[in-house]
Structure 1
Amino acid sequence: MCFFDWKSGHRFQKIDTIAQPGSLDAEQGVFCSTFDRTGLRLITGEADKTIKVWKQDEDATEETHPLDWKPTLQRVRY
């Protein structure tokens, strides 16, 4: 899961979710997500039947979490 600053496009945090012990590798998906009432935490319902609560890393900077995304424009001709 990645968290981005929507104004600048900077990815300030990347977290790998861990499947519930005993789950299959195919059960590492996110089915739904919503923010709590404060808007500071993300709540996800995952394929392994768990609910996880995520919060942002307050100490993240552009130096500690560099942006690796390089968009490419591809023309598709039909």
Structure 2
Amino acid sequence: MRKYHLPSGQLMHMVKKECGQIRDLALTPQYAEGDDGWIMAGVTNDGLLSLWDYESSHEYCRMRLPAVKGSLESETGLLCCEFDNTGSILLAAGYDKAVKVLRLRDEDTPESRPIKGFVAPEVYMSLDKE
């Protein structure tokens, strides 16, 4: 993944870690005061969610989000992700027809992110009619 300065076309950062085929990216809607800055989230076709610091491209964490119980193995991929208006909740929708809701920890700090990352999915909302 590469980040460019658009007016000049100059390469700013390049994430060199293998993170699969990125399907969607989301950026927190507002700049967080202090050291938090902007957080960028990315989801892949194989069900990985990665979180990066937008300015430095440092990867805070990477996790595989589980598919809803009873889903096929081919339904583990993620289609899209989006932050809420506050930037504290991340939604990720997958092939399993469910929306995963992830909440940023209250005690989350830049120092704890590389170790603790984000809370695992708390809520599953199925889009099925069942």
Q: What interval of TM-score do these two structures reach, taking the shorter chain for normalisation?
A: 0.5 to 0.7
Q: 113, 119, 123: which is aligned to 1:60? A: 113
- Structure 1 vs Structure 2 CA RMSD: 1.8
Letter in 2 for 1:35: F
Q: 88, 98, 118: which is aligned to 1:50? A: 98
Letter in 1 for 2:62: K
Count of residue pairs the alignment pairs up: 63
Is contact 1:13-1:56 (8 Å) kept? no
Larger relative contact order (CA 8 Å, sep ≥ 6): 1
Q: For 2:104 and 2:58, how far apart are their aligned partners in 1? A: 13
TM-score by structure 2 length? 0.43
**Which residues of 2 match residues 1-78 of structure 1 at below 5 A?**
1-56=49-104, 58=108, 59-61=112-114, 64=115
* Shift of residue 55, structure 1, vs aligned partner: 3.2
* Shift of residue 56, structure 1, vs aligned partner: 3.9
Question: Which has more radius of gyration?
Answer: 1
Secondary structure of the equivalent of 2:74? helix
User: Could you say which residue in structure 2 is the equivalent of 1:72?
Assistant: none
Specify every segment of 5 or more residues in structure 1 that has no aligned partner in the other structure, as ranges.
66-78
Specify every segment of 5 or more residues in structure 2 that has no aligned partner in the other structure, as ranges.
1-48, 117-130
User: Could you say which residue in structure 1 is the equivalent of 2:126?
Assistant: none
Q: For 1:8 and 1:55, how far apart are their aligned partners in 2? A: 22
Letter in 2 for 1:14: R
TM-score by structure 1 length? 0.68
* Shift of residue 29, structure 1, vs aligned partner: 1.3
**Percentage of identical aligned residues:** 30
Letter in 2 for 1:27: E
